[in-house]
Structure 1
Amino acid sequence: MQSQQFEDILRSVPLMSPEQVGVLHKTLPPAANSAKPDAHDESRLLERLKFYFDQHPLCVRCRSTHINRWGTKDGHQRYYCKDCGKTFNAMSGTPLSHLRVREKLDQYVECMNGETTLRPAARQCGVSLDTSFHMRHRLMALVENDSYGQLSGIAEEDETFFHESHKGDRKLQNPRKRGARSQRKSRNTKTEKKASVPLIPVMVACDRNHHVIDAVLKKVSTEELQSQLEGQILAGSTLCFDAHLAHEHLAEKLSLTAKTLVSSSGERVKEGIYHIQTVNAYHSELKRWINGFFKGVATKYLQRYLGWKRYLKTHTFSIEGFLDQTVFHHTN
C-alpha cells in the first residue's frame, strides 16, 4: 500500500461511526486484534480512548484546543493546556480516571452483559468483591448518560416506582431500612403509612423502534416530565399515556399529539394502535432485572442502572460493540 493511502485511512478512522470501527476490527488479521499488551498497554478500551483523544485533544477544564504534548506518566501521554495551564491525559475527567486495575478492564467488560452479578464477576476476573463493584460502576458511568436518537412515530410514556433503598450503606444507623426487607408493610393499618418505605418515581418513554428515554424523578409532575422529554421526541409524533393529572397538558407543552388511555376504566387500546403496553412491558422487564436478578440496587445508583439497561435494550451486546460505543461517545 502507498504511504499516502495509508495516511488517508488513518485520518478517516476518527470520523468513523462505532459500527464502521467494528467492521474495521473484524477485517484486521487475528494477530492485530489479539496482540499481547506490554507492561503499559493495559487494555483495548483505554488504548482506543487514548488513540481517539490524541486525534483531537481538548482541555478537560476549559475545552481549549491550544494543547501541547507534555511527556508521559504511567504509560499515558499527558497534555498541557496553554490557555488555563492544566495538565491532563485522555482519561482525565472520565469515569476511567485513576483506574488502577487496568489489566483487568477488558476482561471485566465481558461481565457487562447484564447477566453477571458482582461475585461471579469478581471470581471470573480474579479481583476482590470491592474492586468488582468499582469496576462495574466505572463502566456503567460510561453509558449512563448516552442517548441513542429521538423518539418518533408513536411514543409511549409512563411512570413506575421503586422502593427507596440504602443497599450497601454501612453507615446507616437503622440496618432494617437498607434494602428489600424494608419493603415489608406493618400489620397495623394505623401505622402502615408511617412504616412504609418511600417510593422513587422512574419515568420511561419509548417508541416502537426500541428507542428509550428514562429518568429518576423527584416527583411526578408536568414540569419535571417536560424537562426530561423536551427535545427528546421528534416533532409531529404521537405520545400515548394514561390519565394522570401530570399528563394532562404534557403533550401540549411538548407540541405533540396526545392519546390518553383511561386504564382505570379498562381502556387498554385506542383506535386499534395506540396503547402503553410497550412501556409497561419495559417496566416489568426493568423491575425483574433490578429487583429480581440484582436483589435491588441503592437508590443513589438507580439512574446508573437505568442507563446500563437502556444500553443493553438498544444494542446487541458484544465486547467490541461496548468498547467502540463508549469510546465514540466520550471522544465526541
Structure 2
Amino acid sequence: MEDKMFNDIIDSIINNASDDEIEIIREKLNNHLINHIYDTNIHEELSNNYDSSFCPHCQNKHIIKYGKDNKGNQRYLCKECLKTFSSITGSLLSYTKKQPYQWFEYIQSLFNGDTLARSAAIVGISEQTSLVWRHKILSILATLTDDDPVLSDTVYLDEKLNVVSHPGKHIENKEKVKRGMSHQKRNIVCAIDQHNNKVIQVSETGRIHSKELYKIYKDKIPSTCQVVSDSLRSYHKLMKDLKVKWVKIPSGKKEKDGYTLKKINDLHSSIDLFLYKYRGISDKYLRNYMGLYKYKDQHNKYYQKKVFLHIFKEIINSLCALKFSDFKYDSKFFAI
C-alpha cells in the first residue's frame, strides 16, 4: 500500500513537470538512493581513497594534478607517457555509464549466489551485460585472493579434480569423461592447516607433478610443519624438497596414527557445493570463480552492512583488466 502511494506521488510529480524539471527530479532521486544505500557519498569517498601515487598506464610515479572530469573526479597527468587519468581510471566505474549504486547492487547479488538473470533484473541490465559484469568482478577477486596465507603446524593436503569444460565450444569426437586422473580433469590444489588457513590454486591438468606442487607450496608450507596426505607418487619428492615431517596415509587406508584426511575432504565438499551452483563453468574461468569462493571464505560475514561496504570499496578501487571489447557476443560464446 505504501509503495503504491509512493509511486502515485512520483508519477504525479513527473506528469506535471517540464523536461528540465524531470531531469532534476531524477538526479535528486538517484542521489537520494545512493546516499540511502551507502550512508555517504560513495563516489566522492572512492575518489578520496584512490591511490594516486603512480600512473595506471605506465606505472611511472612522476604525475601531477590535472583538473577534474565532468563527474568531479580529480584528474592526473603522467609526465612520462603524457596520458591523463582520473581517480576511477582502470576500475569498474571507468568502463561503464551505469551508476555506482547499480554496481553495489550487482556485487551484492553476486555474493548472494543469484543467477545471471536474477542479477540482471535487480540492477536493470541485460543478461549479456550481466555476464560481462560477473566476469569483470570475478577477475578482480581472483587477483585479490591470489596470494594465499602461510600455513602452520599440522597441514592436510590433497588435490580436487574438476572436469575440464568448454561450454559453447563445438568439439568433434568428444571423448567420454574418464574416471580418476586424466587430461580431462583440472587439478585444484588444496591445503588446509589445523587453524583453517587455506591454500587453494587452480593448477595443471592430468597427474600433477611434484615440480608444480613445490612451486605452489614452497613459500606456504614451512619446514616446521607436519603434513598429512595420501601416498600420491608426486608427494614423495615434494615432501623431501619441503623438508617437512610427512604422515603418509597408505593407499586403501583411511587413517594413520590417528590422522585422517577428513579436514581436507570437507574442504573439497565445500568447493563442490560452491561450484555446483554454477554448472557448466568454462575451464577458462575456473580460476576466477575460485577467486569468488576464496574471497567469500575470507570474508564470511559479507552479509553484514559494514563488512560488505568494505568489500565493495576494495573491488571498486581495484584495477580491472577486462573490457567489454574482450567479450564475444555470439550466442555460442555466451558461456559461464
- Measured in 2, the distance between the counterparts of 1:280 and 1:243 equals 15
Is 1:132 aligned to 2:130, yes or no? yes
Residue 95 of structure 1 and its aligned partner are, at CA, apart by: 5.4
Which secondary structure does the structure 2 equivalent of 1:151 belong to?
A: coil
Other-structure match for 2:260: 275
- Measured in 2, the distance between the counterparts of 1:176 and 1:313 equals 39
On the 8 A contact 1:163/1:197 being kept in 2, the answer is no
Q: How many residues align?
A: 275
Change (3 A) 1:102 1:207: farther
- Measured in 1, the distance between the counterparts of 2:93 and 2:244 equals 39
Which secondary structure does the structure 2 equivalent of 1:119 belong to?
A: helix
Other-structure match for 1:69: 65
Other-structure match for 1:120: 118
Alignment of 1:12-91 (within 5 A): 36-37=33-34, 47-54=44-51, 56-75=52-71, 76-91=73-88
- Measured in 1, the distance between the counterparts of 2:221 and 2:284 equals 27
Change (3 A) 1:92 1:269: farther
Residue 97 of structure 1 and its aligned partner are, at CA, apart by: 4.3
| Equivalent residue for 2:285, pick from 301, 318, 322 | 301
On the 8 A contact 2:140/2:318 being kept in 1, the answer is no
On the 8 A contact 2:142/2:290 being kept in 1, the answer is yes
On the 8 A contact 2:222/2:242 being kept in 1, the answer is no
- Measured in 2, the distance between the counterparts of 1:148 and 1:198 equals 26
On the 8 A contact 1:48/1:327 being kept in 2, the answer is no
Change (3 A) 1:47 1:280: farther
Deviations along 1:246-270, one digit per CA (max 9) or x if unpaired, are: 11121232333322212x221x233
Gaps of 5+ in 1: 1-33, 186-191
- Measured in 2, the distance between the counterparts of 1:241 and 1:47 equals 51
Is 1:203 aligned to 2:160, yes or no? no
Change (3 A) 1:123 1:160: same
Gaps of 5+ in 2: 1-30, 320-336
1:222 maps to amino acid: S
Residue 175 of structure 1 and its aligned partner are, at CA, apart by: 8.8
Q: Name the larger-Rg structure.
A: 2
Normalised TM-score (structure 2): 0.70
- Measured in 2, the distance between the counterparts of 1:238 and 1:308 equals 29
2:170 maps to amino acid: Q
Which secondary structure does the structure 2 equivalent of 1:144 belong to?
A: helix
Change (3 A) 1:218 1:79: same
Other-structure match for 2:140: 142
On the 8 A contact 1:52/1:331 being kept in 2, the answer is no
2:84 maps to amino acid: T
Change (3 A) 1:310 1:227: same
On the 8 A contact 1:142/1:326 being kept in 2, the answer is no
Percent of aligned positions that are identical: 23
Residue 204 of structure 1 and its aligned partner are, at CA, apart by: 1.3
Change (3 A) 1:212 1:176: farther
On the 8 A contact 1:160/1:203 being kept in 2, the answer is yes
Other-structure match for 1:160: 160
Aligned-CA RMSD value: 3.2
- Measured in 2, the distance between the counterparts of 1:176 and 1:46 equals 52
Change (3 A) 1:66 1:202: same
2:150 maps to amino acid: Q
2:219 maps to amino acid: G
